[in-house]
Amino acid sequence: MSARHIARLGLFGALWGIVEMSLGTALQAAHVPMRGTLLAAIGITVALVGAAFVPRRGALLTIGLVAAALRLFGLSGPAISSVAAIAMEALLAEACLAAFGYRRSRASYVAAGATAVLWDLFHPGLGALIIGGPGVAVSFWRAAHKAAQALHLPGTAPAALLVTLGLLRLAVGSAAGWTAYTLIEQVRCRFVLDDA
Amino acid sequence: MGSACLMALSGDEGAWAEAGALIARGGMVMVAFGALAEWASPGALSGLASRIGLQGFGLALGIALNSLDALRDTSTDTWYALRLRGATRAGIRRCGRLYAVALLGAILARADAVAVAAVSRGCDRIGGGSSATEPATLADRQLTILAWLPAAALLLRRLGAF
């Protein structure tokens, strides 16, 4: 891998890291709902654009790992959940690009963005599952059903809510992938790049 | 911790053991992660990556760390330049697109400058070689044992030792 490509990976990783450290900390302090989705969408857009200018396998994952490492040592303090989420989002997006054979198409970018942002829905549950075991996951599900009963909602309400939140994240992720593809085309049109 | 307390207070058979296992799992992750964030430096992480064969990742992390301030300045300068040129009057969507394209272009230009500097220092192609990392101290070894103790306890419990 050439020095130019490594420099691009580092700088795009730094940009994702800055977004996580500055905007992420601000959103966390303000208790903004669905902040993880917003951060994932911005981060994956940056990573997809960066990976497009490094025609190597694993470029997107490297950008994500650099951002995760920066988040680990960020001034706002280490956040194990954020670090793991960034790494997983990058891994899923990379897997998605690999599934499309690393062909640069709008469909592959939309799929990668949607998959990465959808992870935000499952991340807290998987964390609880790893730390707490299956018992905690079952407890959470029972608590959701009890909450639905207390609010006089049908028994399918928790599942319906989960599906709605998933669709919302898929839409945001698809928009991120779409935006990334558009930005890549515009940057390529405006700047003469030496991709050697 | 709250989940562990709820589990222990549920009164089920073996609830205390389950709660203990939960605390041990959480403790192991927290100690390992906290120690990494507290005592390891980004430079050491970069050196470790280079040492285990991930030279590209080590160098990329080093570049990222050294470029944080410059990137912050670039993003701010780009925004002020767009404002001065009246881009904010063009609507939020167009303004956002102009900002993103200008910032991404600036990052790519900076990457080229960093690459030229790296080549002039002999880092043209990333291949073999290893970066020196600090040797492990007694405190590092003690911390490693502390982080793995809950794992050993969980394994022994799984094997039926207690």
Q: Is residue A9 part of a domain?
A: yes
A13-17, A55-59, A156-160, B97-101: the lowest-pLDDT one: A156-160
* CA-based nearest residue to A82, from A120, A131, A133: A120
Provide the β-strand partners of residue A2: B125
- Contacts with A, B 7-36, CB within 8 Å: 7, 18, 21-22, 25-26, 29-30, 33-34, 36
Residues A147, A144: Cα–Cα separation, whole Å: 5
Q: What is the pLDDT of residue B120?
A: 82
Q: Would the pLDDT of B128 be above 50?
A: no
Nearest CA in chain A to B41: A73
Q: Is residue A145 part of a domain?
A: no
Does the distance separating the beta carbons of B101 and A11 come in below 8 Å? no
Total domains in chain A come to 1
Name the percent of chain B lying above pLDDT 70.
69
Q: Is residue A27 part of a domain?
A: yes
Q: What is the pLDDT of residue A180?
A: 95
Q: Tokens 């490094």 correspond to what residue?
A: A54
B81 touches chain A (CB under 8 A): no
Residues B142, B140: Cα–Cα separation, whole Å: 5
Q: What is the pLDDT of residue B11?
A: 56
Per-residue confidence band for B129, with pLDDT thresholds at 50, 70 and 90: very low
Q: What is the pLDDT of residue A147?
A: 78
CA-to-CA separations, B22 to A132, B3, B4, in angstroms, rounded? 5, 8, 6
B97 touches chain A (CB under 8 A): yes
A54-58, A176-180, B35-39: the lowest-pLDDT one: B35-39
Q: Would the pLDDT of A60 be above 80?
A: yes
Kindly list the residues from chain A whose CB atom is less than 8 angstroms away from the CB atom of residue B110: 7, 11
Q: Two tokens at B110?
A: 């900076």
* CA-based nearest residue to B75, from B97, B44, B51, B103: B103
Letter for the amino acid at B112? D
Q: Is residue A162 part of a domain?
A: no
Q: Is residue A45 part of a domain?
A: yes
Q: Is residue A154 part of a domain?
A: no
Q: Is residue A151 part of a domain?
A: no
Residues B144, A88: Cα–Cα separation, whole Å: 25
DSSP letter, residue B135: P
Residues A89, A172: Cα–Cα separation, whole Å: 14
Quote the Cα angle for A51-A56-A62, to 5°: 55
**Which of B25, B63, B104 faces A183 most closely, judged by CB atoms?**
B104
Q: What is the pLDDT of residue A110?
A: 96
Q: Tokens 């599942």 correspond to what residue?
A: A159
**Which of A15, A193, A194 faces B71 most closely, judged by CB atoms?**
A15
CA-to-CA separations, A75 to A25, A42, A78, A79, in angstroms, rounded? 9, 20, 8, 11
Per-residue confidence band for B132, with pLDDT thresholds at 50, 70 and 90: low
Residues A127, A80: Cα–Cα separation, whole Å: 10
Provide the β-strand partners of residue B139: none
Q: What is the pLDDT of residue A177?
A: 95
> Helix (H, G, I), strand (E, B), or coil: what is residue A2?
strand
A131 touches chain B (CB under 8 A): yes
Name the percent of chain A lying above pLDDT 90.
45
* CA-based nearest residue to B60, from A16, A113, A49: A16
Kindly list the residues from chain A whose CB atom is less than 8 angstroms away from the CB atom of residue B118: 3, 6-7
Greater model confidence, A25 or B99: B99
Q: What is the pLDDT of residues B33-66, one digit of tens each?
A: 676 666 666 667 777 777 777 778 888 888 888 8
Does the distance separating the beta carbons of B3 and A10 come in below 8 Å? no
Q: Would the pLDDT of A188 be above 80?
A: yes
Q: What is the pLDDT of residue B10?
A: 55
Distance from CA of B12 to the nearest CA of A (A): 12
Q: Is residue A84 part of a domain?
A: yes
Does the distance separating the beta carbons of B61 and A66 come in below 8 Å? yes
Range of the domain at A92: 3-125+172-190
CA-to-CA separations, B91 to A185, B82, B83, B88, B104, in angstroms, rounded? 21, 12, 12, 6, 20
B152 touches chain A (CB under 8 A): no
